[in-house]
Structure 1
């Protein structure tokens, strides 16, 4: 970075724009708001550019401010990655990986792949955080995490998809449900006759359902909206209604027979994907790259057909 771009001033600018106000940034950094305001003003004076717009409630980045914040994030990530690679050259085996993922990946990740990876790399530490699809994409694009595990992300020029596997959305029902006795793929409009629980709109599963509704010109009215797959599992298990999820997200329930995953005859629902994402252009440290490749090859979510919707055999009369 040029000496003109003072690191501390860029840090203040980053936090103020990220949090949307000088006061919030001051609280996060434990400094006086006037300090942040003055440092941003000095940066603007040195560059001859306006970096933030003062609004009635907070601030907003100008085009120049947004560019600086993006470059600052990349610089921070590159600096951390460089330090990690230098440690690798020193022969140090320790490493750390930050992962952000949708809740549906947790059971799959914990059921074996993570343990096998730690057997090979016992000194590696990790941090996991759960988030909806939109937040996973933003968090990875902003270099807050090395890797994201996300269901059906939309196109975003800031991210690269390292691995993708088709994982259709299934109708999740209790075993023996009337729909399971049809012995054929379901039609989306058939679900409208049953109480439904769905994820909130910021989640990939709900977004793909919305696309399917539009394509078929129908409107599903969920009885329950939630941010938790666990809540949806219990909603179905308790006989309160049905839900729509990829089969890998409830693999343990399918294995013990407490839930069934039925295919739906719909192009949008059949083409959804589970993805591993990174920030476009970021060269991951060795530990993060090793983990990315391992999970891509070991998790059910990234193995097509490993946990798919199943058409039940029609019961004989």
Structure 2
């Protein structure tokens, strides 16, 4: 077995494992699938170890493959972070930040926080990736992104919560809706009698709602299930029904009075949190650290007791 490991071949292995299929990895890399297969085969030959298990639905890494993938991931992150710090030491004041977030944070982020950050740091660039709760955690744990904005994530030993602020799930309705006129917290049983739109099961709001249903032995039958908060906003604004979301995710609608946020009488829904997360043990480059501190201090989602 050779002492040197070809980094390019490691990248092919990494991408194949990431996408779960050689063809998908090849599409992402812009090469022919045979190139990916050949390079991984050569790596297996050099190391005298099987690195991928092939099955009908794609590929998955073996234990040896997982070890190499983890090595490649950490090496890549360390290299990128070191280069970023070198640029900072050289006084270039440049940098790039990868941010992953749930859709509910978009309006808050774009409504002023990001613009103010760029006015202070005009030479920094940012990429934004929208994802559900599970995907946000995976992107941070796998070091694909520096910072994640996520709503009520499950505990994960790979993740560090840098800020956690209670942001209860509210009933979001038009002011003229019967439930909005009650002028008191509403119960899940009352909500179940009305047309309801909710997020898909991969999102934190839906996962928490499922737990609340179980705790109260109430079954909600949504008329609409979606991966888009924007669609839910239009669903409610059009008078088609109500939804269940944290207030900050529809802040502009609440501010202009087109929608209202009604407390829900449920301990689980009242305990939900908005969090900013990073990977445990990762030292962020200066640019990402600056953005992290800025978001904690500026975003409405991380201000306690707003609504």
TM-score with structure 2 setting the length: 0.95
Task: Specify the alignment match of 1:116 in structure 2.
Answer: 116
SS state of the match for residue 201, structure 1?
coil
Deviation at 1:127, TM superposition (A): 1.2
Q: Distance in 1 between matches of 2:60 and 2:17?
A: 6
Structure 2 CA distance for partners of 1:110 and 1:292, relative to 1, 3 Å: same
Query: Mapping of 1:1-317 within 5 angstroms?
Result: 3-306=3-306, 308=307
1:7-38 Cα distance to aligned partner (Å, 9 max, x none) = 11211111111122223323333444344333
- Structure 1: unaligned runs, 5 residues or longer: 309-317
Aligned residues: 306
Deviation at 1:81, TM superposition (A): 0.8
Q: Distance in 1 between matches of 2:28 and 2:137?
A: 23
- Structure 2: unaligned runs, 5 residues or longer: none
SS state of the match for residue 68, structure 1?
helix
Contact 1:22 1:58 in 2 (8 A): yes
Q: Distance in 1 between matches of 2:211 and 2:98?
A: 31
Deviation at 1:126, TM superposition (A): 1.1
TM-score with structure 1 setting the length: 0.92
Q: Distance in 2 between matches of 1:68 and 1:124?
A: 32
Deviation at 1:183, TM superposition (A): 2.3
Q: Between 173-182 and 184-193, report the one with greater CA deviation.
A: 173-182
Q: Distance in 2 between matches of 1:24 and 1:301?
A: 36
Q: Distance in 1 between matches of 2:118 and 2:22?
A: 42
1:135-170 Cα distance to aligned partner (Å, 9 max, x none) = 111112111111111111111222211111110000
Contact 1:4 1:46 in 2 (8 A): no
Deviation at 1:73, TM superposition (A): 1.6
1:202-222 Cα distance to aligned partner (Å, 9 max, x none) = 111111101101111111010
SS state of the match for residue 179, structure 2?
helix
SS state of the match for residue 9, structure 1?
helix
Q: Distance in 2 between matches of 1:273 and 1:207?
A: 13
